[in-house]
Amino acid sequence: MNLDPIIYEHTIYRSFYSHTQNVELALPTLTEDIDCHVCVIGGGLTGIATALQLAKMNYHVVLLEAESSLANQASGVNGGQVLNSYECGMEYIATKYGNQLAMQLWQLSLDAVNLIKHNIKTYNLDCDWQNGCGIVAYKAHHMQDIHNEYDLMKNKYAYDGLELYDVQQTASIVGSKIYHGCLYDCNAGHLHPLNYALGLAKIVTNHPHAHIYVKSRVTAINSNHGTHTIMVNHKHRVTAQFIVLACNYNNGRLIPQLANKVTKFETYMFATEPLNAVAVELIKNRMALFDSRNIMNYYRLSADNCLLFGGGDTFGKSNLDKIKTALYLDMLKIFPQLNGVKVQNFWSGADSLTLNLVPDVGKVGSAIYYAQGYSGQGVALSNLVGLIIANAIHGNSEQLDLFASLRPIGIGGNPLLNAVLIKMGIAYFRLKDYFY
Ligand SMILES: Cc1cc2nc3c(=O)[nH]c(=O)nc-3n(C[C@H](O)[C@H](O)[C@H](O)COP(=O)(O)OP(=O)(O)OC[C@H]3O[C@@H](n4cnc5c(N)ncnc54)[C@H](O)[C@@H]3O)c2cc1C
């Protein structure tokens, strides 16, 4: 189907978030050799959250970001959904690694969401926090899985934040006829990720022992007798006792043994023009939503009533027009009443995943910490990871060890093999979504 060209006529090809950014940070570039306790590499949410926790503990911390602005990658362009649990699901962890670890990691995932709420309140971050997320049943029999999840979380994990909505209740909240029910989580929520990340970074810059540099790409790491020398822009040296690698799918460029543990995937989003009166009927409780398929759509309303819409099956499509059409048609399938609504922003972003979708957080050698492979669910998790890596550097690695005992299955560093495996994985999930 061809879309009316007017829909994309005035589209801005940059993220809705950079378009509505409310924090400006004037940050320097590194132009000399310096020493510090901890060098954090990568200025997304993982790096910013780690730098903040270390600064609060009075470490002399230096954060190096390759690009000209912070949170310019996944952390500043994502769906903004702040979710409990992990992409692999709690029962995967329970089955593979035991109930005790699952219980501990479940509690940490709740802590991760609470940490975001705590930061917003403590630092008065202007980032449009909104309570509530829901998973909606795309097919009638998906409701059984949703029921099972509700029972499991309530009975085994003693979690009382969930509400189960049947088809009528769902239709009374979401202005769509396609869903068969919804599992609503009142403790999860959504926010403007870029304003959150930059607001947090601003707090970091207020600490006298913390320094953030942009346009300061790390080009090599050399370790010798407990001291690390970090080369920046092939020119300057940062000497540090500890390193935190927070470069997402680029960690492996600096420490090659991390490369074969994750793979990069790309996803697309758009923001409609403000919907105003229509928005009230679209998602009455203003929760963020995603559906029950493996290759699903996720969406939410922004504070100014734009529909931020992403996901779907855009994999393997190299033609941008086809991707734009596919995503818009996904929206119309859910909300046919939005036919003709214009697209204000269109953008893409990338994250890293592991084959079994468990996060990959740990330590290489004695003093290099890293995090990657959040597998599309890193907004809350990156905040928690910042705290637990800072605690580990401070001498308490109890929580880090819990993550380190997960065994993420790597995909392989060979780019060709990577591409083949990703294609096979997508084909598998397409079939699964079709038949189940
Ligand atoms: C489109 C999209 C939608 C998503 N939606 C959600 C969602 O709704 N909810 C959710 O929980 N998660 C979501 N995610 C996932 C989430 O955004 C990520 O898991 C998380 O932001 C990863 O944060 P990070 O700081 O580890 O990595 P990034 O944000 O990717 O940051 C890495 C940083 O490292 C820098 N860097 C790289 N190499 C170097 C170097 N050599 N030297 C210095 N700096 C370097 C990069 O420039 C970048 O700034 C989504 C992701 C995408 C792409």
Euclidean distance between CA atoms 229 and 224, whole angstroms: 8
Strands 343-353 and 81-82: unpaired
- Distance from the CA of 74 to the center of ligand 1, in angstroms? 3
Does any domain span residue 433? no
Does any domain span residue 435? no
User: Among the atoms of ligand 1, which is closest to the Cα of residue 379?
Assistant: 11
Residue nearest ligand 1's atom 10 by CA: 377
Euclidean distance between CA atoms 157 and 146, whole angstroms: 15
Pocket test for ligand 1, best of 250, 269, 352 (most atoms within 8 A of CB): 250
Identify the CATH number of the domain in which residue 380 sits. Answer: 3.50.50.60
Pocket test for ligand 1, best of 374, 384, 389 (most atoms within 8 A of CB): 374
Provide the residue range defining the domain that includes 32.
5-20+27-426
Residue nearest ligand 1's atom 38 by CA: 247
What pLDDT is recorded for position 420? 73
Q: Taking the model in full, what pTM does it have? A: 0.96
Euclidean distance between CA atoms 393 and 61, whole angstroms: 12
When divided into structural domains, the chain yields a total of: 1
CB atoms within 10 A of CB 97: 16
Question: DSSP characters for 360-424?
Answer: EEEEETTTEEEEE--TT--HHHHHHHHHHHHHHHTT--HHHHHHHTS-PPP--S-HHHHHHHHHH
Which residues of the chain carry a pLDDT beneath 70?
A: 1, 316, 411-415, 418-419, 435
- Distance from the CA of 375 to the center of ligand 1, in angstroms? 10
What pLDDT is recorded for position 279? 86
- With a Cβ cut-off of 6 Å, ligand 1 is lined by 41-47, 64-67, 72-75, 77-81, 83, 217-218, 246-248, 250, 267, 269, 310, 349-351, 371, 374, 376-380, 382
Chain-centroid distance of CA 396 in Å reads 26
Residue nearest ligand 1's atom 50 by CA: 78
Does any domain span residue 342? yes
- Distance from the CA of 331 to the center of ligand 1, in angstroms? 25
- Distance from the CA of 251 to the center of ligand 1, in angstroms? 12
- Distance from the CA of 265 to the center of ligand 1, in angstroms? 11
- Distance from the CA of 45 to the center of ligand 1, in angstroms? 7
Does any domain span residue 434? no
Euclidean distance between CA atoms 327 and 38, whole angstroms: 42
Does any domain span residue 194? yes
Does any domain span residue 123? yes
Chain-centroid distance of CA 34 in Å reads 32
Euclidean distance between CA atoms 108 and 122, whole angstroms: 20
Does any domain span residue 436? no
Question: DSSP characters for 293-326?
Answer: SSS-EEEEE-TTSPEEEEESS-TT---HHHHHHH
What pLDDT is recorded for position 414? 67
Euclidean distance between CA atoms 276 and 274, whole angstroms: 6
What pLDDT is recorded for position 413? 61
Pocket test for ligand 1, best of 27, 40, 64, 78 (most atoms within 8 A of CB): 78
Does any domain span residue 266? yes
